Amino acid sequence: MLLNDYDPLKKKQLTILDPSGVIVTPKLEPNISKEELLKMYKTMTLGRTADIKALQYQRQGRMLTYAPNKGQEAAQVGAMAALEQQDWLVPAFRELNAMLYKGVTLEQIYLYWYGNEWGNHFDEGVKVLPIDVIIGSQINHAAGVAYASKILKKNEVAVATIGDGGTSHGEFYEGMNFAATYDAPLVVVIQNNQYAISTPRSKATKAATLAQKAVAFGIPGIQVDGNDVLAMYVATKAAADHARSGKGPVLIEAVTYRLGPHTTSDDPTIYRSNEEVAEWELKDPLIRFKKYLIDKGYWTEEEDQKLDEENLQYVGDTFKLVEASGTSVLEDIFKYTYAEMTPQLNEQLEAYKKYIEQGGK
Ligand SMILES: Cc1ncc(C[n+]2csc(CCOP(=O)(O)OP(=O)(O)O)c2C)c(N)n1
């Protein structure tokens, strides 16, 4: 059984598709339909283009801020593709690819980074919680979702994502422990992208791996090559099956790399070398997945080029829509903090209106 074989204390990392696009663990190659493989690849390429463009829009002063995903596409899409329609994604804030795969639209994602609350309002049936910037707190939310699913016998697994740095926060431990104690159907995917802003993973914890933190909760943990979309798929499927069958949570450590800055306010050249980035560029999740699809006869370079052009067009059109209608009014800040406005918020809103009436800006 996969989760036993890859016990984190055995110091093994699951890889199926290596950086050169070769299957190195044939017995674990998943049987995914051509249609789904292409959906995964198309989501990852759209995610890549949307990510690069978001950074450019921000630099042009057209987007408020943005947390880049470049390099983390496989960790996210591989995990999401392994889920059932009814399962939940409980994201942090660097999950553009995972959100796209689960049905959040690019327009909604861009609206969020444009500062508009409607970017957190997803379509009916999309099982994704709003973006959560408070590091670690999404693990408690996900534990609650998972526990509710268990009580209500809903057969819904909650999958939360968190960064490497987030696993040093208290709420990570609280949520994991709660879910483990109550056998709640929770899967936590740590996107170990090597840095928490400028703090390298080696300075954030003395643990040899992040997957081994599972041992303390008494649950399975597995370390995966997070740039290998097939390995992410296989590990998450095993984890979701485990959680769904009533055995409790699983912790996955996806070893990946943030190729871009932490956010648009960060300059990573201050704390990491160009050589390090270049090394990880060779392990780019898109390169190996494309080669896999071409080798299987599912994809061609010509189709790839056409897809790139379509993505660029689609991303540009989407951002134009956001710019045309996405400007939010300051009143939204007061209105959307709670379901109903508190007396204090009402008072503050009135003060703000008065300020505007008097010519304030
Ligand atoms: C409770 C809390 N403390 C501090 C911050 C500021 N902050 C934003 S991102 C970040 C680092 C997160 O690193 P990691 O968990 O590794 O995720 P990554 O950003 O690499 O995806 C910090 C400290 C925050 N958002 N929430």
CB 58 within 8 A of CB 67: no
Which whole number is the average pLDDT over 292-321?
Answer: 98
| Ligand 1, atom 13, residue with closest C-alpha | 196
- Choosing from 135, 262, 280 the residue with most ligand 1 atoms within 8 A of its CB, the one to mutate for a pocket test is 135
| Ligand 1, atom 25, residue with closest C-alpha | 134
- Choosing from 69, 197, 264, 265 the residue with most ligand 1 atoms within 8 A of its CB, the one to mutate for a pocket test is 197
CA of 169 to the centre of ligand 1 (A): 10
* Vertex 354 angle, CA 351 and 360, to 5°: 105
CA of 214 to the centre of ligand 1 (A): 21
- The answer, yes or no, to whether residue 56 has pLDDT greater than 80, is yes
CA of 54 to the centre of ligand 1 (A): 20
- The answer, yes or no, to whether residue 7 has pLDDT greater than 90, is yes
> In ligand 1, which atom is closest to the CA atom of 167?
15
Assigned CATH for 2-327: 3.40.50.970
Q: Is residue 48 flagged as an active site residue?
A: no
What confidence score (pLDDT) does residue 293 get? 98
> In ligand 1, which atom is closest to the CA atom of 201?
16
Residue 238 tokens, joined? 């095993």
| Ligand 1, atom 6, residue with closest C-alpha | 135
Catalytic pick from 41, 262, 288, 292?
262
> In ligand 1, which atom is closest to the CA atom of 133?
25
Pocket residues: Cβ below 6 A from ligand 1 = 94, 133-135, 163-166, 193, 195-197, 258, 262
Q: How many angstroms separate the CA atoms of 287 and 79, rounded?
A: 18
CB-based contacts of 185, cutoff 8 Å, min separation 6: 146, 149, 150, 156, 157, 158, 243, 244, 246, 248, 249
Which whole number is the average pLDDT over 221-246?
Answer: 98
Model confidence pLDDT, tens digit, residues 129-153: 999 999 999 999 999 999 999 999 9
What confidence score (pLDDT) does residue 326 get? 84
Closest CA to 229 of 47, 94, 80: 80
Which pTM was predicted? Answer: 0.96
CA of 15 to the centre of ligand 1 (A): 27
Q: Is residue 195 flagged as an active site residue?
A: no
Model confidence pLDDT, tens digit, residues 93-130: 999 999 999 999 999 999 999 999 899 999 999 999 99
Q: How many angstroms separate the CA atoms of 244 and 150, rounded?
A: 9
CA of 193 to the centre of ligand 1 (A): 12
Which of 84-88, 95-99, 312-316, 349-353 is predicted with the least confidence, judged by mean pLDDT? Answer: 349-353
> In ligand 1, which atom is closest to the CA atom of 134?
26
CA of 68 to the centre of ligand 1 (A): 13
CB 185 within 8 A of CB 220: no
CB-based contacts of 36, cutoff 8 Å, min separation 6: 81
The number of angstroms, rounded, from the C-alpha of 220 to the middle of its chain's C-alpha atoms is 21
Task: Count how many Cα atoms sit within 13 Å of the Cα of residue 190 in the half-sphere of its side chain.
Answer: 30
What confidence score (pLDDT) does residue 358 get? 92
Q: How many angstroms separate the CA atoms of 285 and 227, rounded?
A: 5
What confidence score (pLDDT) does residue 54 get? 98
CA of 296 to the centre of ligand 1 (A): 39
Mean pLDDT score across all residues of the chain: 96
CB 88 within 8 A of CB 154: no
- Treating both helix axes as pointing N-terminal to C-terminal, what angle do 285-295 and 34-59 enclose, rounded to 10 degrees? 150
Q: How many angstroms separate the CA atoms of 320 and 314, rounded?
A: 10
Model confidence pLDDT, tens digit, residues 311-340: 999 999 999 999 998 888 888 888 887 889
Strands 199-200 and 221-225: unpaired
User: Which one is predicted more confidently, 360 or 136?
Assistant: 136
Q: How many angstroms separate the CA atoms of 134 and 149, rounded?
A: 24
End-to-end Cα, the chain, rounded Å: 62
- The answer, yes or no, to whether residue 81 has pLDDT greater than 90, is yes
Q: How many angstroms separate the CA atoms of 133 and 352, rounded?
A: 26
Q: What Rg, from alpha-carbon coordinates, does the chain have?
A: 21
Task: Count how many Cα atoms sit within 13 Å of the Cα of residue 256 in the half-sphere of its side chain.
Answer: 33
> Residue 329 carries which side chain, given as an amino acid letter?
V
* Inter-CA distances, 26 with 18, 106, 252, 284, Å: 11, 35, 21, 21
Q: Is residue 141 flagged as an active site residue?
A: no
How many other C-beta atoms lie within 10 A of the C-beta of residue 130?
A: 16
Q: How many angstroms separate the CA atoms of 85 and 49, rounded?
A: 25
| φ, ψ dihedrals at 162, nearest 5° | -155, 155
- The answer, yes or no, to whether residue 296 has pLDDT greater than 80, is yes
What confidence score (pLDDT) does residue 187 get? 99
| Ligand 1, atom 18, residue with closest C-alpha | 163
